[in-house]
Amino acid sequence: METCYIGIGSNLGDRRQNIDRAIEELKAVKGIKFKRSSSIYETEPVSDIPQGKFLNGVLEIEAGITPRELLTELNKIEKKLGRKRTLKNAPREIDLDILYYGQDVIEETGLVVPHPKIPERDFVLRGLKELGRI
C-alpha cells in the first residue's frame, strides 16, 4: 500500500455535498483505504472563465492499486458525480487530482505525479502541510 494524496474540489451545485459524496465513493473503491482529509478551504478559481468560488482540500489515502488504476477510479467518481469535461478550467461538480503517489515520479500520457501545479495552489500546500506531507 502506498500513501497517496488527492486534491479535491468543487464549484458547482452543493459544493460541500459534492465533496462528501466523492469521499464516500472513494471509500468504496476496492484497493483504496481512506485515511483523512485536510480542512476544506474556499478558494478563488484559477481561470479566465467566469465562475464561482471553489471548496478545496486534500485527502490522504492508502492505495493498493497502481497509479493508472487510481486515476481511472478518480475519473469514474468524477463522471458519476456529474463532471463533464468541456473546456480546460471550466466550472465542475467535482475535481479529483493525484498529487502524490508514494514517492513515485511518473511522467506518462495523461498522468504526471507529483502533480505539476502543487506549488501554484495555496490550498494544496496548506492541505499537504496540515496532513504532514510537507
Domain count, the chain: 1
| pLDDT at residue 86, rounded to an integer | 77
Q: What is the pTM of this model?
A: 0.95
User: Residue type for 24, please?
Assistant: E
| pLDDT at residue 87, rounded to an integer | 75
Summarize the confidence of residues 49-61 as an average pLDDT: 95
pLDDT digits (tens, 9 = 90+) for 1-49: 999 999 999 999 999 999 999 999 999 999 999 999 999 999 999 888 8
Run of H or E including 9: strand 2-10
Summarize the confidence of residues 107-111 as an average pLDDT: 95
| pLDDT at residue 47, rounded to an integer | 82
Q: Are 58 and 38 in contact (CB under 8 A)?
A: yes
Give the CATH number of the domain where residue 26 resides.
3.30.70.560
Q: Are 107 and 98 in contact (CB under 8 A)?
A: no
Domain that holds residue 65: 2-117+125-130
* Of 6, 107, 8, nearest in space to 61 by CA: 6
